[in-house]
Amino acid sequence: MWMEKLLQCNVDFQIVGMGKKKMLTLSQSIAQLEAQVEKITREKISAVNQLEEIQNQLTSREMDVTKVCGEMLYQLNKTKMEKDEAEKEHREYRTKTKRDLEIKDQAPHFANPIPSTSQFFLSFIFTFIVIFIFFVIPVILFFSIFSSSSVFPLFCFC
Tell me the pLDDT tens digit for each residue of 87-146.
999 999 999 999 988 888 886 655 555 556 677 778 888 888 888 777 777 777 777 776
Q: What local confidence, expressed as pLDDT, does residue 147 receive?
A: 65
pLDDT 10s digits, 28-86: 999 999 999 999 999 999 999 999 999 999 999 999 999 999 999 999 999 999 999 99
Q: Which domain holds residue 25?
A: 2-106+113-155
What is the C-alpha to C-alpha distance for residues 102 and 87, in angstroms, rounded to an integer?
A: 22
pLDDT 10s digits, 129-145: 888 777 777 777 777 77
Assessment of whether the complete model's pTM goes beyond 0.85: no
Check if the beta carbon of residue 143 is closer than 8 Å to that of residue 158: no
Question: How many structural domains does the chain have?
Answer: 1
Q: What local confidence, expressed as pLDDT, does residue 89 receive?
A: 92
Cβ-count burial 1-25 (b if 16+ within 10 Å, e if not): eeeeeeeeeeeeeeeeeeeeeeeee
Q: What local confidence, expressed as pLDDT, does residue 135 receive?
A: 76
Q: Is the pLDDT of residue 152 over 60?
A: no
